[in-house]
Structure 1
Amino acid sequence: MSNTFAPMVRVTRDPDADPHRRPLSLSLVTRLWGLMRPYAAKRNVLLALVLLRAIQLPLLAWSIGAVINGPISNAAPMAAIVIASLGVLALAAWTQFTLVFRQRLALELGESIVHDLRGSVYSHLQQMPMSFYAKTKTGRVISRITSDCDAVRVGVQDVLFVSLVQAGQMIGAAVIMAWYDLPLLMVVLAMSPVMWIIGRVMRNRLSEAYRDVQESFSRVTATIAESVAVIRVTQALAREDTNAELFRQLTVDHAEYNMNSARHNGLLMPLLELTGQVSLGLVLIVGAYRSIVASDPMPVGDLIQFWFLAGLFFSPIQVLGNQYNQALTAMAGAERVFRLLDTPPEWTDLPTAVSLPAQVDGKLTVENVSFAYDPGHWVLRDVSFVAEPRQMVALVGETGSGKSTIASLVSRYYLPTQGKICVDGLDTRGLTSESISRAISVIPQQNYLFTGSVLQNIVAGRAGATESDAVEALRSLDCEWLIEDLPEGLQTQAGSRGGRVSLGQRQLICFARALVANPRILILDEATSAVDTLTELRIQKALGRLLENRTSLVIAHRLSTIRTADQILVMSHGKIAEQGRHEELLKQNGLYKDLHERFVS
């Protein structure tokens, strides 16, 4: 990459980001503190170690000055000096021993919290409806559960406890300095307003810079996730160079955002350190005056101790500055994670929801259903039909006519905007999601296999299913030969998204999975449209066996597959334009006949 960065492209912020909210927020800190509640015992021990560590450091500085001010300055016997020095070494060893256990407990606490937080985020994501995923990029979801949760971990195990140690060190040093010489302490504290003003001025700039870095990283992550997901399409269209250039522009922007935050950080830290050095210089000047010129001279030994303590007072400034920068990142990450956790699903099971009975007949009723993904943009308008138990209802029509939307509503991926959908006379709004998923299964157009063996994918259709259930399902579909076709039988690894098996094999595996689940209502989004004609003929028999004695809703792209349907619904612009059996619709000389002539004849 060239050393000259391209100009930053200011893009629209994440819709779930709030640019007016301060990254350092008491409410966020309080909520982060609440994450430690399950580990209260470990947290309390850690706080005790933090307090002890904060006291030890000023005591160590004081003891060094005391040895210089006492035995050494008074020319005490060497034995006394050695004993005093050994005491200092023992205190230093105790300090390091405390540090080891403080760091270990902080690490364990941080990892425990991020483990729980990621579990909460993942569980919350599992409850979100399809509308959430339709509006949210995959990379953004990944970023919440990875980098943002990591930022929270850093905020807890590093920023919080390190800052407490450093702040305690400054307070302890200030208390001892006040005991030695209160007027000289005032000289040290005189620079505090200057440091406060510097931090105040730089705070907004750093906040904005770190927010930009987080947003930019989220865009980079989203692009990577989406590129991997569609790599076959990318290679088929020979878009590798184009996508690489688009990604390069994103990384250039991300690098510039990082550089921008580093520039602000590079300005803040020298200013804070310079303030501390100036303060030490003032302490030296005023202390020398008090020791040499003042009528009530300050002992030189006390000045030496005060000098050590003043250095200890100012040494945390740079550490706290770095912690402040990390705190901005942690607060931004926490803000985004908690915003996701605070985003309730658009709908959940009603408190009064009931389960479908164990024996479901499979009658499906769609009554006056209208639906809009976005308010005012109707996708379906007043759709009504009834699928009697064990009937096959086919949905046909042009792309965008509403076929897949009906399937999504029946599956309760979405709720109807108007009207209702009933299973055996029970409105699906009042049913539990678990009972609906048990009664209704969907085989989508692009069949998905989980990473794992073929056996694991087949038995995923029902909790507690065994290998014998999988073999019986394949036997019932009359495709037990699939086991022999696979190189390792049912133990063959399907690979990511089923990439290690053919389309036809993937189709049959999904059929077997649906058969193991044994739903009363089966929805097929033309599951055979992605395979070639010969493969389709090979699996049509299995499909017929799968549909036996089940109510089925079939979205048909190949009209030849739905000739025997009990009902055919011809969709047009979100409405049912025609309805009937194959022969009846052909006689009407309407949309169905046009579609039949175009795609079959």
Structure 2
Amino acid sequence: MNQVQTLSRSLTKHVERLEDRQRPLDFRLIGRILTFTRPYAVQRNLLLVTVLLRSIQLPALTWAVAAVINGPIARKDVNGVMWGAAGFAVLSLSTQFVMHYRQLLALQLGESVVCDLRQALFAHLQSLRMRWFHQTRVGRVISRMTSDIEDVRIGVQEVLFVTLVQVGQMLIASCAMLWYDWMLFLMVLGLAPVLWLINHHFHRRLSSDLRNLRESFSRITATLAESVVGIRVTQAFVRQDENARIFGDLAEDHSSYNTAVLRTQGLFLPLLDLNSQVFIVLLLIVGGYRVLQPDSPMAVGDLVGFFFMANLFFSPILIIGNQYNQAMTAMAGAERLFSLLDTPPEWSDPKDAIVLERMTGQVEFRHVTFGYDAARPVLHDVSFSAAPGQTIALVGHTGSGKSSIINLVAKFYLPQQGEILVDGHDLLKVNSDSLHHQMGIVLQQNFLFYGTVRDNIRFGKPSATDAEIVEVLDRLGCGDLLNNLPDGLETQVGERGGTLSSGQRQLICFARALIANPRILILDEATSSIDSATEARLQKALNVLLTGRTSFVVAHRLSTIRHADQVLVLDHGRIVERGRHDELLELDGVYARLHKRFVQQG
């Protein structure tokens, strides 16, 4: 248990260091959030009017009660009492009407702001380059779009406008108490700091306890998710008892934090209530004494009104304290959101970028040096050319630079040195969208999106008709394989294609790439997940489909490499051999040794 608590504290500090859950109030951030309300200025201004009315109405109700007591009741005027009660009822109804529209307008405004923020964030994410995604954890990206935006939503819908109502109510109640009796008002001012200090102290403790509680719960959910996803490995290594022990320790850890929260709340609320009772006692003594004085200008109704006004003055202190904690959380969420929105793309196309209307597919590398970390290049002085329609096979050990060449051809990254030309144009000056519209990619990780088989194939060409989809499948020679699925092309692939075999997933990825009729085709170990029987069916179709397209193939299977127009053999980021399959075998060099190993493994 002590080890778990040590790990728990270490993880908590690490998470807090990476993503603090709270930030001090920052009026620049508040102003930037409010800029998202500009398209909804009419709605926002109406909301501010309801906030002002709401701040006035509750003190007005209290003043009405005191006025009826001092007036009609003191004079024993029955009609006056009835008229006063009727006026109070009408004012009470108006408060409900205003409260309804204040909440409705705040919810609508908050939802509009959150919707715009989500769209702006998603659009910005699409503009970021591949390096950023490789360096950023998926969980943090999702957190920006979910929990951080929800924190901002609460800040807009609740914190801002509720706080304005409470502050307005306190100011009006203060003026009313000062008007009723300035001496009693001074006593109230003397007690207010005491209540504020108690509230501030306990909220700091609660904030720390709740942060620990959230983090411990995150560890529980993460462990649970990991256990469910990895259940096959768990059972294979008989880890059930050990995993249950670890989870039990985390659950006890979470329970201890929950107990700390309950203990703090259990002390705070009675203490706050005790202070309220002490204040009432003092107010009764001092206020009663002033009313009972023969020459006192303070009437009983004034004392009653003062009591009510004092309640309206003190009750917002607790509410504003809660809102302050939520405001700090909203500040942290807003800071992370705007930090992401302010992250510029690593590079952007120049304004005068060349739009490639119809590529021939000629690709040339000229003395290209590249590294994911500029200080540690993974490609060194790489030069080669691919004529339109040629198939270029990339061969080499893991880490030799094959995928790096693919990433550069696809313009996912830019080289640190050298030039990459497409149809004679420097890739730096080429419009990226026009390049990618004429490029098809099939990766080893055959990623499918949630939806039907038809939806995933159409991903490569949204305007594709059903007839075009069937034609592509027939050309691949795999239409019957997919038609054997329970619902044919309407079969739901599940999350990441989990309901399909690896071969079926890869076939869908082939169809998705080829339906776009690309001029440049990239196959990054695309047949590694397909069994030999399925590959045999695909090989003839691939030979036909590769004809007329410039293709870059990273493959471990000889069937794909044998017919390549040019084989580039890489070793530690350098091209050490190049030529056709038969030519490289005659050299009896690196490729020949790799070929021998492939044959032995085959």
TM-score of the two chains, using structure 2 as the length reference: 0.90
How many angstroms does 1:298 deviate by? 2.4
- The question of whether the paired residues in 2 share the 8 Å contact of 1:140 and 1:222 is answered with no
1:349-360 residue pairs with structure 2 within 5 A? 349-356=349-356, 358-360=357-359
- The question of whether the paired residues in 1 share the 8 Å contact of 2:209 and 2:260 is answered with yes
How many angstroms does 1:575 deviate by? 1.6
> CA–CA distance in 2 between the matches of 1:253 and 1:331?
29
How many angstroms does 1:240 deviate by? 6.5
Moved more, 46-55 or 473-482: 473-482
1:559 and 1:237, CA in 2 relative to 1: closer, same or farther beyond 3 A? farther
**Aligned match of 1:28:** 29
- The question of whether the paired residues in 2 share the 8 Å contact of 1:393 and 1:567 is answered with yes
> CA–CA distance in 1 between the matches of 2:374 and 2:133?
18
How well do the aligned residues superpose, as a CA RMSD in angstroms? 3.2
- The question of whether the paired residues in 2 share the 8 Å contact of 1:445 and 1:525 is answered with yes
**Aligned match of 2:544:** 545
**Aligned match of 2:347:** 347
1:103-142 residue pairs with structure 2 within 5 A? 103-142=103-142
How many angstroms does 1:587 deviate by? 2.3
How many angstroms does 1:312 deviate by? 1.4
**Aligned match of 1:383:** 382
- The question of whether the paired residues in 1 share the 8 Å contact of 2:22 and 2:330 is answered with no
- The question of whether the paired residues in 2 share the 8 Å contact of 1:273 and 1:317 is answered with no
How many angstroms does 1:20 deviate by? 12
1:263 and 1:354, CA in 2 relative to 1: closer, same or farther beyond 3 A? farther
**Aligned match of 2:592:** 593
Q: Deviations over 1:176-208 (max 9, x none)?
A: 122222332222122344455556666766666
Whichever residue aligns with residue 433 of structure 1, its letter is: S
SS, match of residue 373 in structure 1: coil
1:108 and 1:542, CA in 2 relative to 1: closer, same or farther beyond 3 A? same
1:473-552 residue pairs with structure 2 within 5 A? 473-552=472-551
State the percentage of identical aligned residues. Answer: 53
> CA–CA distance in 2 between the matches of 1:239 and 1:353?
56
SS, match of residue 554 in structure 1: strand
**Aligned match of 2:146:** 146
1:49 and 1:468, CA in 2 relative to 1: closer, same or farther beyond 3 A? same
1:243-254 residue pairs with structure 2 within 5 A? none
1:34 and 1:450, CA in 2 relative to 1: closer, same or farther beyond 3 A? same
1:85-96 residue pairs with structure 2 within 5 A? 85-96=85-96
- The question of whether the paired residues in 1 share the 8 Å contact of 2:121 and 2:145 is answered with yes
> CA–CA distance in 2 between the matches of 1:156 and 1:179?
34
> CA–CA distance in 2 between the matches of 1:234 and 1:210?
32
1:283 and 1:80, CA in 2 relative to 1: closer, same or farther beyond 3 A? same
Q: Deviations over 1:114-171 (max 9, x none)?
A: 1222222222222222222222222222221112111111111111111111111111
Q: Deviations over 1:18-41 (max 9, x none)?
A: 769833211221122222111111
Whichever residue aligns with residue 517 of structure 1, its letter is: A
Whichever residue aligns with residue 375 of structure 2, its letter is: G
Whichever residue aligns with residue 180 of structure 1, its letter is: Y
**Aligned match of 1:39:** 40
> CA–CA distance in 1 between the matches of 2:303 and 2:214?
47
How many angstroms does 1:522 deviate by? 0.7
1:252 and 1:120, CA in 2 relative to 1: closer, same or farther beyond 3 A? farther
Moved more, 483-492 or 549-558: 483-492
Whichever residue aligns with residue 387 of structure 2, its letter is: E
**Aligned match of 2:446:** 447
**Aligned match of 1:72:** 73
- The question of whether the paired residues in 2 share the 8 Å contact of 1:211 and 1:332 is answered with no
> CA–CA distance in 1 between the matches of 2:441 and 2:376?
26
> CA–CA distance in 1 between the matches of 2:228 and 2:570?
35
**Aligned match of 1:557:** 556
- The question of whether the paired residues in 2 share the 8 Å contact of 1:9 and 1:253 is answered with no
1:46 and 1:271, CA in 2 relative to 1: closer, same or farther beyond 3 A? farther
1:467 and 1:385, CA in 2 relative to 1: closer, same or farther beyond 3 A? same
Whichever residue aligns with residue 23 of structure 1, its letter is: P
SS, match of residue 377 in structure 1: coil
SS, match of residue 350 in structure 1: coil
1:11-410 residue pairs with structure 2 within 5 A? 11=11, 13=14, 17=18, 22-76=23-77, 78-195=78-195, 197=197, 277-293=277-293, 296-356=296-356, 358-410=357-409
- The question of whether the paired residues in 1 share the 8 Å contact of 2:21 and 2:329 is answered with no
Whichever residue aligns with residue 48 of structure 1, its letter is: V
SS, match of residue 372 in structure 2: strand
- The question of whether the paired residues in 2 share the 8 Å contact of 1:24 and 1:331 is answered with yes
Q: Deviations over 1:221-242 (max 9, x none)?
A: 7777777777776676666766
Provide structure 2 residue ranges, at least 5 long, that are not aligned to the other structure.
none
> CA–CA distance in 2 between the matches of 1:266 and 1:527?
61
Moved more, 492-501 or 46-55: 492-501
Q: Deviations over 1:82-133 (max 9, x none)?
A: 2222221221121112111211111122222212222222222222222222
> CA–CA distance in 2 between the matches of 1:299 and 1:440?
86
How many angstroms does 1:277 deviate by? 4.9
SS, match of residue 529 in structure 1: coil
- The question of whether the paired residues in 2 share the 8 Å contact of 1:504 and 1:531 is answered with yes
Whichever residue aligns with residue 495 of structure 1, its letter is: G
SS, match of residue 366 in structure 1: strand
1:557-576 residue pairs with structure 2 within 5 A? 557-576=556-575
Q: Deviations over 1:53-100 (max 9, x none)?
A: 110000001111222222223322x33322222221221121112111
SS, match of residue 515 in structure 2: helix
> CA–CA distance in 2 between the matches of 1:438 and 1:338?
31
1:583 and 1:5, CA in 2 relative to 1: closer, same or farther beyond 3 A? closer
How many angstroms does 1:279 deviate by? 4.4
Moved more, 328-337 or 219-228: 219-228
> CA–CA distance in 2 between the matches of 1:94 and 1:421?
71
- The question of whether the paired residues in 2 share the 8 Å contact of 1:139 and 1:221 is answered with no
SS, match of residue 415 in structure 1: coil
Provide structure 1 residue ranges, at least 5 long, that are not aligned to the other structure.
none
Whichever residue aligns with residue 117 of structure 1, its letter is: L
1:349 and 1:89, CA in 2 relative to 1: closer, same or farther beyond 3 A? same
How many angstroms does 1:291 deviate by? 2.4
Whichever residue aligns with residue 476 of structure 2, its letter is: L
SS, match of residue 368 in structure 1: strand
1:517 and 1:212, CA in 2 relative to 1: closer, same or farther beyond 3 A? farther
> CA–CA distance in 2 between the matches of 1:503 and 1:87?
75
Moved more, 363-372 or 196-205: 196-205
SS, match of residue 191 in structure 1: helix
> CA–CA distance in 2 between the matches of 1:369 and 1:208?
53
- The question of whether the paired residues in 1 share the 8 Å contact of 2:290 and 2:296 is answered with yes
> CA–CA distance in 1 between the matches of 2:215 and 2:441?
36
Moved more, 393-402 or 325-334: 325-334
Question: How many residue pairs are counted as aligned between the two chains?
Answer: 597
> CA–CA distance in 1 between the matches of 2:190 and 2:347?
57
SS, match of residue 394 in structure 1: strand
> CA–CA distance in 2 between the matches of 1:412 and 1:233?
38
How many angstroms does 1:472 deviate by? 1.8
**Aligned match of 1:580:** 579
How many angstroms does 1:370 deviate by? 1.9
1:46 and 1:123, CA in 2 relative to 1: closer, same or farther beyond 3 A? same
> CA–CA distance in 2 between the matches of 1:451 and 1:463?
15
1:231 and 1:496, CA in 2 relative to 1: closer, same or farther beyond 3 A? farther
- The question of whether the paired residues in 1 share the 8 Å contact of 2:527 and 2:555 is answered with no
- The question of whether the paired residues in 1 share the 8 Å contact of 2:477 and 2:538 is answered with no
SS, match of residue 419 in structure 2: strand
SS, match of residue 393 in structure 1: strand
> CA–CA distance in 1 between the matches of 2:249 and 2:384?
51
How many angstroms does 1:258 deviate by? 6.3
TM-score of the two chains, using structure 1 as the length reference: 0.90
Whichever residue aligns with residue 53 of structure 2, its letter is: L
